[in-house]
Amino acid sequence: MAQTARPRDLGLGHIEHPLLNRLVVDHAHDDRIGVLRALAPDSKDNTFGLVLMVPNTPPVAWLRPEGGGQEWTTDPDAIEAIQ
């Protein structure tokens, strides 16, 4: 049986993803299109002003609109490459 390769840890909770820095469609947000900037934990529930450690939460996909603007997060399973 073939083993599935584990994503490489890039540090600070970020993990490798084949679509990093590519245009993707986010099916969880009305097929919104953006650039995948990171796959990392979401620290929005962190009550500290600074992130002192990597949150122990599942990673989310961090997306940015193609022309720039405010990033948003989504479930990594909701994104796919633009065809």
Residue pair 60/75 in contact (Cβ under 8 Å)? The answer is: yes
7-40 per-position pLDDT tens digit: 666 666 668 789 999 999 999 999 999 999 988 8
d(CA 12, CA 15): 9
Residue pair 71/12 in contact (Cβ under 8 Å)? The answer is: no
Q: How crowded is residue 52: how many other Cβ atoms within 10 Å of its Cβ? A: 7
pLDDT of residue 57: 75
Per-residue pLDDT, averaged over 44-55, amounts to 58
As given in the structure block, the two tokens for residue 43 are 């620290």
